[in-house]
Structure formats: C-alpha cells, structure tokens
Amino acid sequence: MYLPEHFAQTDIAALHDIIASHPFGSLITHDSGGLDANHLPFELLRNAGELGVLNAHIARRNPLREQVKDGAEVLVTFRAADAYVSPNYYPSKQLTQRQVPTWNYMVVHAHGRIRFIDDEKFLRAVVGRLTRTHEASQPAPWKMADAPAEYLQDLLQNIVGVQVDITRLLGKNKLGQDEQLIDMQGAGQALARGVCGASQAIGGAMLELARLRES
C-alpha cells in the first residue's frame, strides 16, 4: 500500500480498534494460479502473538485450504469508512479554484501467516465468541444453544477454521492532512453534515484531527 508518512496511523491500539469495529475483512492470498480474495468476518485476539491474531472460518468446500499451505504469507484488509470529498467543501476553492475532488478513507492492512485448523473445539469457541459479539445489540441475543445440537454439529462439520498470526500492521488515515487547516475543517464539517454514516464518520475524524492540529 502506498503510504505517505502524513497519512500513516502507527498506533497499534487504534489499528486494533478499527479491526474490532469493522471486522468484515478481505483475506488476500496467492498461489500458483494467481491472486484470490475471500471475504470473511474476523475475530481479533489483541493480546495473542506479537501484533494480534485473527480467527475466522470458511466452508469446507472452499478450495482455499488446498490452494494455500499452512505458513503462507497472506494479507487481510479492513476498511473503516470512506467518503467522496467535493472541491466545493474547501473554503480556499472559492478564492483560487485550485482544488480537485478526492476520496478520504481509513483502512488497515494486516500481514501475517495463515494456518487452517480442523478442530471442533476451536471452531465452537470462535463461532461462539463471534456470535456473542455480533448478537450483543439484539433485544434477545441468539445463542448457539438455541439451535438443535445435531443441526449445529452438522454445520460445524462443514467449516474449517482459519487463523492468521499478524506479523505486520499498516494503517492509513487519509483525512486531508495535506490540506490547509481551514480546508480540512471545511471539508470535515460538510461531511459531518451528510446523511451517509460513512461520510459522517470521515467528517468527524477530520474535525478531530483538525482540533489536534489547532491545539
């Protein structure tokens, strides 16, 4: 990933926060047939390994397990939010016309080593934790115990665990750091007023960064 220094997010805790709050990642792999991508919900274990561990699962019929060997280097990407930025959002544009459209975003790239885990105990634990995490906001959270035992057993037999030991984390927050403060504030305010949640998130992040620059 192209990563100018002024866009780099190097705080590991902040990168972990993005993964935890936006856990649907793209697992990118490479084998003799070329590149492939699988889109999966991941569980992050922040305190495992040097930089954390990612857990997920795939269908047993997914050929990924045969195509990629244990220990192979992989990349998992996570996108927090992104938004189109119109030149009209920049106050300086009214004076100079020297602005063009751009796109702001926050992403994390997790490089690591993959391994596949065909173990029911591991799968039950991962699926259980993912379920508790994502059902937490429901009025009556679904639990694995709600499903018939034999039905759940059949489903578990049809999946395989995936684990990625993170070896490198790269974060990119492109939030107008290369713009004048007044333009960063103007664009942030315009996005924060938008109706789209992603635009509001980017606008809020820009305004917070602008406040830090101003202090």
Q: Is 50 exposed, middle or buried (0-12, 13-18, 19+ CB in 10 A)?
A: exposed
Q: What is the pLDDT of residues 130-170, one digit of tens each?
A: 999 999 999 999 999 999 999 999 999 999 999 999 999 99
Write phi, then psi, for 66 (nearest 5 degrees).
-85, -30
Q: What is the pLDDT of residue 167?
A: 98
For the chain, give percent helix, strand, coil, nearest 5. Answer: 40, 35, 30
Q: What is the pLDDT of residue 202?
A: 98
Q: What is the pLDDT of residue 3?
A: 97
Domains of the chain: 5-179 (2.30.110.10)
- The DSSP 8-state label assigned to residue 120 in this structure reads H
* β-strands 102-117, 73-85 pairing: antiparallel
pLDDT band for 96, please (50, 70, 90 cuts): confident
Vertex 113 angle, CA 57 and 131, to 5°: 25
pLDDT band for 68, please (50, 70, 90 cuts): very high
Structural tokens at position 201? 């998130």
Q: How far apart are the first and last CA of the chain?
A: 30
Structural tokens at position 121? 């105990």
